[in-house]
Structures are given as C-alpha cells and as structure tokens.
C-alpha cells in the first residue's frame, strides 16, 4: 500500500501547477492568432484526451468520473467558469486593469481558506499574500500605473467574478478531498465542449499557420491547460492551501521572465522589484511550512475567524 502524501509534498506538487502556468503566456504568444475561446476548447480537449489515454494503463481511473452532480458543478464551473469570465474581461476592459483585478484570486484563496474546517488563518498569511499582490501589480502594470474607467465596468466585473470563481473552486475542492484527481479528465472534456460552443457563437475560427504554432498549442494542452489542473487539485486538497495561494503570485513573475528571455518582452527594473516583493511575500506566508510551527515562542494569534478548535 502506498504511503499517503505529506502536506509538504502535496504543497510542492500543487506549486508545480504554478510553474506550468508560468509557461501559459509564452505558449499562447507562440500559438498564433487563434481566438481565446477556440484556444480554450482545443487545449482543454487535448488535456482531457491525454487523461483518457492513460485509462489504457490505469483502467480503474475511469471510475473517478462517477461523481455526484455537486462535484461536476464545482469542477466544470471552476474550469470553464473562470476562463469564460477571464476572456470576457479581456474583451471588455484594457488587459492591464483586467489582469490586475483577475490576480486577486490568490489573495482570495488565502482569505477563503479561513472558512475551511481545521484551517488557521494568521496575519503573516495575509501579509505575505498582500506583499505578493503588490509584486504582481508591478508585473502586470509594468510599473507605469493604471486607471479604472466607468465604461469598462463590465470587463472589470467579469475579471472580479473570474477571480472569485477560481478562488471558490480551489477552496471548495478541499471539501471534496476524497474525489480522485482523475475526475479532472471529465471536467476538462466538458470545459472543452462548452468552450467550443461559445466559440462558435462568439468568434471566428482561426487555425494555426505552421508546425511551430501547432506544437505550442499541443504544449499548452499537455502542460498549463492539462497537467497543471491535475497537480493543482492535489495541492489544494492535501497541501497547505494558504501557502499555495500566496505562492501563486510567482506565476506572473515567472511568466514575464520567460517572455523576456525568449524575446517576447523587455526587461525593466519593475521586474526586479516585483521579484523581491513576491519572494518575500511567499516566504512570509510559508513561514510555518518552511521553518516549523513550533519555532516561534510567542506565535502570532489567529485572527478572529479562526476555525481550528
């Protein structure tokens, strides 16, 4: 019988999703001009089909699809809902402001985790998430500031709903910790189907022009829009969800760094400052996990919505 995962190991597995998501912008930029909903449909289809391919060597995994409707609602609502609202926000608001609002989801995960049984939300969790949020804001805005305008209210609202959707999905997944991560295969396939329907209704179909664009799309489906959701599921169900929330702000930093290295973006001092802020925030939020919970002789008292008995 295999040994159960430790919280530290599960957290590291969950963080590998953040590493995969950091490749999202690069592969998307390399994939050509395919419209976002079409790209979502194709890549989630690849991710889902890759999961079904594993059934040939793990036939028992198909049994994970037998879940109550609440699990399907949460899984499909999280994957499809988040991407639908995110792309809606980009269509109806400037990308900088929409992206900044969308990146509230890691902070919301940290805050919402206080509602979970047995979780203790402390001030250093919130402080770390806020530091990392400041770093993410620098990355998204390029250090040049931002402005919100009333005519983009629909886009701003969609970005906020998207952030709320992903944070809710991530936190509530812990309530269904007994559901195997193999169920993600089904969620991906239904998300691909719904995205395809929305694409046909809202977008014009555009296919890649060359092999490199097809390769980038395949890489998206296997990594950032495939494997990432499986390992994220393990992390939020069995790992330290507060640390994962704060550490998720590494995604925009790593993503920007990759774009700079590959020539899709240029370096600025804002990237360096953002690196320091995000790193400091992640270390602060992960203080207990990194240095142990018993090292502080006078630990910070839990804030008022502590759920631990």
Place of tokens 């990194």: 290
Comparing C-alpha atoms, which of 14, 12, 17 is closest to residue 228?
17
Per-residue pLDDT tens digits of the chain, which is 309 residues long = 456 788 889 999 999 999 999 888 888 888 988 999 999 999 999 999 999 998 989 889 899 999 999 999 999 999 999 999 988 888 888 877 787 788 888 888 888 887 887 777 778 778 888 887 887 777 777 666 666 777 888 888 998 899 999 999 999 999 999 999 999 999 999 999 999 999 999 999 999 999 999 999 999 999 999 999 999 999 999 998 888 888 888 887 788 788 888 877 677 777 778 778 877 877 787 676 555 554 344 444 444 344 444
Q: Where are the domains of the chain?
A: 7-290
pLDDT of residue 289: 59
Using CA atoms, how far apart are residues 281 and 287, in angstroms rounded to an integer?
Answer: 10
State residue 257's pLDDT score. Answer: 82
Could you tell me which of 101, 106, 96, 107 has the C-alpha nearest to residue 85? Answer: 101
Is-contact 103 163, C-beta < 8 A? yes
What pLDDT is recorded for position 143? 66
Q: For the full predicted model, state whether its pTM sits above 0.85.
A: no
Is 64:179 a contact under the CB 8 Å cutoff?
yes
Q: Give pLDDT, residue 306.
A: 44
Judge contact between 177 and 10, C-beta under 8 A: no
For 157, how many CA atoms within 13 A lie in the half-sphere containing its CB?
5
pLDDT for 274 equals 76
């Amino acid at each position: 019988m295999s040994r159960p995962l430790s919280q530290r190991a599960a957290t590291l597995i969950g963080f590998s999703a953040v590493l995969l998501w950091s490749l999202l912008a690069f592969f998307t930029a390399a994939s050509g001009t395919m419209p976002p909903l079409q790209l979502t449909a194709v890549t989630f289809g690849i991710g889902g089909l890759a999961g079904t391919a594993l059934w040939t060597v793990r036939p028992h995994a198909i049994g994970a699809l037998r879940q109550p409707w609440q699990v399907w609602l949460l899984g499909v609502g999280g994957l499809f809902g988040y991407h639908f609202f995110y792309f809606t926000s980009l269509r109806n608001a400037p990308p900088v402001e929409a992206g900044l609002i969308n990146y509230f989801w890691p902070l919301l995960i940290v805050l919402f985790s206080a509602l979970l049984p047995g979780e203790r939300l402390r001030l250093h969790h919130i402080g770390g998430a806020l530091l990392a949020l400041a770093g993410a804001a620098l990355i998204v805005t390029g250090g040049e500031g931002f402005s919100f305008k009333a005519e983009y209210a629909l886009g701003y609202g969609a970005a906020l709903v998207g952030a709320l959707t992903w944070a809710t999905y991530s936190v509530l997944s812990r309530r269904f910790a007994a559901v195997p991560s193999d169920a993600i295969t089904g969620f991906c396939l239904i998300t691909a189907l719904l995205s395809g329907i929305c694409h046909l209704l809202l977008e014009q179909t555009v296919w890649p022009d060359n092999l490199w664009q097809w390769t980038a799309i395949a890489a998206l489906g296997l990594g950032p829009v495939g494997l990432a959701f499986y390992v994220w599921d393990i992390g939020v169900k069995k790992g330290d969800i507060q640390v994962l929330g704060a550490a998720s702000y590494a995604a925009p930093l790593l993503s920007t760094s990759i774009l700079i290295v590959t020539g899709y973006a240029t370096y600025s001092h804002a990237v360096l400052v953002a690196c320091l802020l995000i790193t400091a925030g992640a270390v602060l939020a992960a203080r207990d996990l990194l240095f142990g919970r018993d090292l502080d002789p006078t630990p910070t008292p839990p804030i008022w919505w502590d759920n631990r008995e």
